Structure 1
Amino acid sequence: MLKLDNISVYYGAIHALKGISVEVKEGEIVTLIGANGAGKSTTLRTISGLLKPRAGQILFEGKNIAGLPAQDIVKMGISQVPEGRRIFANMTVLENLELGAYTRKDSAGIAADLEKVFARFPRLAERRSQIAGTLSGGEQQMLAIGRALMSRPRLLLLDEPSMGLAPLLVKEIFAIIKEINASGTTILLVEQNAHMALSIAHQAYVLETGRITLAGKAADLAQSEAVRKAYLGG
């Protein structure tokens, strides 16, 4: 479904991604793990059109999308849940969700998808008229995921969904990610919590300073001594 082929990205003179190649097959959860500053968020921002690669191709369902405007990439079926949630804090829960569907014109479909989001996240249904900035961190993460789902993505990019959440909420968010995948959405997950990410992913890549150093089945990487030492606390 998605293929990054030898992607290089720069921030000014800084070479952030150094020729990385990643594949995401339809129906899978693929995770990118690595330390802070390894290039994980940069990878997602490049796929979603917020950054332009200086070299390489990004193929989504066979079409090269590298350098396309972000809104066109959303229309093609890729949606991102950004790091730090980035909800619209001064707007209501409902308004945030409606903005997630801004590329769509099918009002009946949008209404149906709103109800699906509220069924998946009952706490958002209870707070639909509440100002989003007053939600708890976990509720804001649910809102950010719900907003991304409103564009009906076939590929969902998740950037650090567990960041800043209590352990119980982390479990809840990961259960929701598995459920979204089971209902037919392919997922590319960037996550500091390597243990949780590897427990739900099919395939995994380890990024270190802009390069992929390991790749394989998530279950195999979870057993790898190098990965355990570096990311799983021994």
Structure 2
Amino acid sequence: MSIDAKIIIAYTHLGTTAEFLRRIMAENVLKVVACVSSGEKVLSLVRKYKPDFLVLDSALTGVCGLDILRQISAQIEDRPFIIMYCEKQNDIYWQLAYRYSADLILEKPADPAGLIEKIYTYLTSKQAPICIDDCDFTSRCLEVKVTKVLYTLGLPPNFKGFHYLRHALILVAQDSEKLFSVTKILYSQIAEQFGVSNRSVEHSIQTAIQSIWNSCNFENLKEALGFTINTNQSPTNVEFISLLSDAIRLNMI
């Protein structure tokens, strides 16, 4: 597969990882237009080259990754797809990064082959029709999209039901038939993965949805779902999962 896309790599270890990424991308016709290790240069390079992608280290010298995200979000109208690398999963940091318009967050060390696969997936999905089949989804793309939506709706990642609800949305977006047997199939599959009971999954998801309903800006919820909703009563687990997973499948988000 041949792709013509410009990429800037802003990474701390310029002599190793960034050069490795440059070679791998060059073999796949992905053009790296700049490699830097200083955060102070990133904004000017984005303005100069107008890249399709920005690979961003969270721990650059001079200006940190979050500040760069803020600058790009505020000052760049046609911004690139931003892939940020962090040392390890930090829910609060990841939530802030997504809020400041990071499109994908990955843990260090960088995996060049995996990065290229994600870029291919993104570029391919941009060419897909609005309504896409289950087979066109990758679990990673779904996980990123669902995570960003839940953050937008104000559900804290340390909330017990966060991971259960996220997993449920991913499973239903991939296979809507699971909604026809929520207890036997959907809850059971999640319970087995997390080593808990079906009842615990159901209750935690219900609590998470109630938390969203009690604290959410309903304009954000309307934007996420794509249509006006009845705000007088919180939805059931099945109703909420169905509405949100459908919105994700139809690329409303």
TM-score by length of 2: 0.27
Greater fraction helix: 2
Structure whose alpha-carbon radius of gyration is higher: 2
Greater fraction strand: 1
| Relative contact order higher in (CA < 8 Å, ≥ 6 apart) | 1
